[in-house]
Amino acid sequence: MSDALYERYKDALRRGHLATQRGRHDAALAAYVEAATIAPERALPHTSIGTASLRLGHAADALNAFDSALDRSPVDERALAGRAEALVALRRSSEAAATLDALSVAQEADGRPVDALDSARWALELAESRSRRRAVERLVGHLRKVAGDAPVQAALARALHLLERTSVVPPDSEERPAVLPETDEATVALMVAADAPGPSVDPLRLIEEAESAIEAGDVDASRDGLLRAARLLDEAGYSDAALDACYEALALAPDDPDLHLVLADLYLDRGWGLLAADKVVLLGRMADLSGDVGTGERVRDLARRRMADDVRVRDLLG
Cα–Cα distance, 91 to 261 (Å, whole number): 20
Give the pLDDT mean for 44-68: 94
pLDDT at position 188 is 38
- The mean-pLDDT minimum among 18-32, 109-123, 185-199, 270-284 falls in 185-199
Distance in angstroms (rounded) separating the CA atoms of residues 52 and 171:
41
Confidence of residue 41 (pLDDT cuts 50, 70, 90): very high
Quote the CA–CA distance of 241 and 44 in Å, as a whole number.
45
Q: What is the pLDDT of residue 103?
A: 94
- State the maximum Cα–Cα separation within the chain, in Å, rounded to a whole number: 81
pLDDT band at residue 171, thresholds of 50, 70 and 90? Answer: very low
Q: Residues near 52 by Cβ (< 8 Å), separated by ≥ 6?
A: 16, 20, 25, 28, 29, 32
pLDDT for 230-250, tens place per residue? Answer: 888 777 777 767 877 887 787
* Mean pLDDT (whole number) for 243-259: 81
pLDDT above 60 (res 177)? no
**What is the residue-averaged pLDDT of the chain?**
80
What pLDDT score does 148 carry? 62
What pTM, to 2 d.p., does this model score? 0.57
* pLDDT surpasses 70 at 183: no
pLDDT at residue number 43 = 93
End-to-end CA distance of the chain: 65
Among the listed residues 156, 78, 89, the one whose alpha carbon sits nearest the alpha carbon of residue 121: 156
